[in-house]
Amino acid sequence: MPAKGARVEMIEAPPEEPRELKAQDAVHVELVSRTFRTKRGPIQALAGMSLRAAAHEVVVVVGPSGCGKTTLLELICGLQRPDSGTVRAAPAALMPQRDLLLPWLSAIDNAGLALRARGASREDARRAAGPWLERFGLERFERTRPAELSGGMRQRVSFLRTLLAGKPVLALDEPFASLDAITRQDMQGWLAHVLVAEPRTVILVTHDVEEAVVLGDRVIIMSPRPGRTVSEIDVTLPRGARRRTDPAVVELRERALAALGVQP
Ligand SMILES: Nc1ncnc2c1ncn2[C@@H]1O[C@H](COP(=O)(O)OP(=O)(O)OP(=O)(O)O)[C@@H](O)[C@H]1O
Ligand SMILES: [Mg+2]
């Protein structure tokens, strides 16, 4: 049997050691550093990284490839520990960078995987996941395996699996990066509406500055490796009703690109 347990671990925050929060923040990362020891010497992924998210806030993290974004999400989900600094977070579920759907399970069984991992029977997990698949426009694909789903459908199943883990914090690692531009825009609009209907604290990582401004309450710009926060942009426009052509959205996008050092 493939390493089912390992994948379940990616979905579920570990049960050990509750990482309590003192303020009302759902996520509090303070001056965190993380270095990987490799055969070719140490690689410092993060150096003095800080970030906070209040309950139900959507914080989008943008940064160049290799600056430590996935490492940051894994720290928040308790899958790694910092070398120094503090990570406090309410229980968090990770939607990994690759969808990691299990190829031998149908959409509904993939969606309910976190429930099964918590001891639910297959029938109970299906009963819980079924109405969600319907809400996510996947009702005709409940029994379809991942290989026969489109990229956007796979991402919806993967997101649903993360949501059904039942954690207050969702850590989404480049959820739409593998999709074509049209599907990506559709999925961004879809996620914005889901989060209005089902508020969660979200830390979403992306390379896409426009995605950050369309989805986030706040955009965190990271430096190249070793990553840390170099700029924060508040997006005060109402979520779920932002158009990418709005002058305010365009201006925020330009600000974010400038903070990343990208020339117009
Ligand atoms: N388990 C590991 N062992 C050794 N090095 C690692 C490990 N995980 C990450 N790294 C290194 O740490 C750095 C940051 O990696 P990370 O995956 O967090 O970057 P990222 O910002 O998510 O990149 P991308 O945008 O390409 O996904 C990289 O240089 C990577 O090679
Ligand atoms: Mg990554």
What pLDDT is stored for residue 21 in this prediction? Answer: 53
What pLDDT is stored for residue 15 in this prediction? Answer: 40
Task: Name the percent of the chain lying above pLDDT 70.
Answer: 91
pLDDT in tens, 25-58: 899 999 999 999 999 999 999 999 999 999 999 9
Task: Name the percent of the chain lying above pLDDT 90.
Answer: 71
Closest listed ligand to the CA of 222: 1
CATH superfamily of 19-91+167-264: P-loop containing nucleotide triphosphate hydrolases (3.40.50.300)
> 123 C-alpha vs ligand 2 centroid, how far in Å?
34
Question: Cα–Cα distance between 138 and 130 in angstroms, integer?
Answer: 9
**What are the tokens at 123?**
């029938």
**What are the tokens at 63?**
């940064």
| pLDDT surpasses 60 at 197 | yes
Average pLDDT of 169-178? 93
Report the chain's mean pLDDT, rounded to a whole number: 88
Residue whose CB lies within 8 A of the most ligand 1 atoms, among 10, 36, 176, 208, for a mutation test: 36
Count of alpha carbons within 13 angstroms of residue 228, beta-carbon side? 12
Which residue minimizes the CA distance to atom 18 of ligand 1?
68
- Ligand 1 near 65 CB (within 6 A): yes
- Ligand 1 near 36 CB (within 6 A): yes
Average pLDDT of 62-91? 96
- Ligand 1 near 69 CB (within 6 A): yes
pLDDT in tens, 123-157: 999 999 999 998 888 989 999 999 999 988 999 99
Which residue minimizes the CA distance to atom 5 of ligand 1?
36
What is the domain partition of the chain in residue ranges?
Answer: 19-91+167-264, 102-164
- Please provide residue 148's backbone torsions phi and psi, each rounded to the nearest 5 degrees: -100, 10
Q: What is the pTM of this model?
A: 0.89
Which comes out higher in pLDDT, residue 257 or 23?
A: 257
Which comes out higher in pLDDT, residue 99 or 214?
A: 214
What pLDDT is stored for residue 23 in this prediction? Answer: 52
Contact 120, 152 (CB under 8 A): no
Average pLDDT of 212-223? 96
> 203 C-alpha vs ligand 1 centroid, how far in Å?
17
> 49 C-alpha vs ligand 1 centroid, how far in Å?
15
| pLDDT surpasses 80 at 19 | no
> 131 C-alpha vs ligand 2 centroid, how far in Å?
31
Band of residue 264 on the pLDDT scale cut at 50, 70, 90:
low
What pLDDT is stored for residue 17 in this prediction? Answer: 42
Beta-carbon contacts of 37 under 8 Å, excluding residues fewer than 6 positions away, are none
| pLDDT surpasses 80 at 11 | no
> 227 C-alpha vs ligand 1 centroid, how far in Å?
10
- Ligand 1 near 98 CB (within 6 A): no
Cis peptide bond upstream of 226, omega within 30? yes
pLDDT in tens, 247-261: 999 999 999 999 998
